[in-house]
Amino acid sequence: MFGLKGDWSLEVKDRYFTMEDYCGATPRWCTGCGDHGILAAVHRVCRDSQIPPEKTVAVSGIGCSSRLPHYMSTYGFHGLHGRALPVACGVKSRRPDLDVWVATGDGDCFSIGAGHWIHAMRYNMDLTLLVFDNGIYGLTKKQTSPTTPMDVPTNTHPSGALLPPLNPLTVTLGVTNISFVAQIVDWNAPLRHEVIKMAHEHKGTSFVRIITRCPVYVESIGKSLQDEPARLKLITHEKGVQLDDSVKKLFPNHAEHDPSDLAAARALAEDPGVLPLGILYHNPDAPQYDTMTSVGLDMSIDDKLAGMNEALDHFAI
């Protein structure tokens, strides 16, 4: 090759990804919607993890929250109503090398997708599950959701919901083989970032319920919590989320809680007086179903055929 030294080599520099590398389309959520902050936290955690965008996939169902895959410059799957988790589990079982995020809402997850929610928690596959809970069906214009408070009028219940709202924390903490359960509010950025970061680093299904503001249909839910911080309780521990004192001062109520104590986590979740914020439960040793479903993925076609024939030979007469 004319003009080149015989010992030339091409230096391939390491790739570094900025937040823009994970940003997709411009978000179309309403102004003031809490979903914007959650998306920013996901972009930041992706940037900090430096997992390539082509090794990342965002999966969702139906609802305002489920627009998230459109706003990620990664692989994405915008699925059917309530079916985000089975799709995500399917992705993880066949492509365990991918970093899987799941975006769902209080209707998509806790109503039509409730059966999948329970079983996905038990499977404990390596997924980061973010539930955007604004207490209303926002996309379809203000119908009662499973977590709508009884005193909030909606288009389906103008006098308020007839039944008390579902408690997603107590339900999740009652499922066998759970490994990570947390709760945050969308408007506290430091807490939001640290919890989502810990959820992403956890190996297993990380369930993060995010109490999210909907300024269009149920402004009262988020505003009342912001105006009455005494209704919130920050849970801290050396094994839990780590925050600066400046952030802790924003919460008048604190509780020291060991996230490995499941019984104590359930007691916190059942307290009707306050909403616990932080890591309620963390068990890194819970078995992961995706470590079992991925066995044999590296087998060749010939090896698979030989294994099938050997199994069928047991039935030969």
Please, which pLDDT band fits residue 288 given cuts at 50, 70 and 90?
very high
pLDDT confidence of residue 14: 81
The reply to whether 304 falls in a domain is no
| Type and span of the H or E element at 108 | helix 106-110
Strands 180-185 and 275-282: antiparallel
pLDDT confidence of residue 160: 93
Q: What is the pLDDT of residues 79-109, one digit of tens each?
A: 999 999 999 999 999 999 999 999 999 999 9
The reply to whether 313 falls in a domain is no
The reply to whether 315 falls in a domain is no
Query: What six digits make up the tokens of 141?
Result: 């214009």
Residue type, 76: G
CA distance linking residue 14 with residue 73, whole number of Å: 20
pLDDT at 12 over 80: no
pLDDT confidence of residue 1: 42
| Residue given tokens 């992961």 in the structure block | 288
CA distance linking residue 78 with residue 101, whole number of Å: 12
Computed over every residue of the chain, the mean pLDDT equals 94
Q: What is the CATH number of the domain that holds 213?
A: 3.40.50.970
The reply to whether 152 falls in a domain is yes
Say whether 171 sits in a helix, a strand or coil.
helix
199: how many CB neighbours lie within 10 A of its CB? 25
Residues whose CB falls within 8 Å of the CB of residue 168, separated by 6 or more in sequence, listed in order: 106, 109, 110, 131, 133, 147, 209
The reply to whether 307 falls in a domain is no
Q: What is the DSSP string of 68-82?
A: GGGGBSSEEEE--TT
Please, which pLDDT band fits residue 21 given cuts at 50, 70 and 90?
very high
Q: Can you give the residue range of the structural domain that contains 224?
A: 19-288
The reply to whether 212 falls in a domain is yes
pTM of the model: 0.92
The reply to whether 308 falls in a domain is no
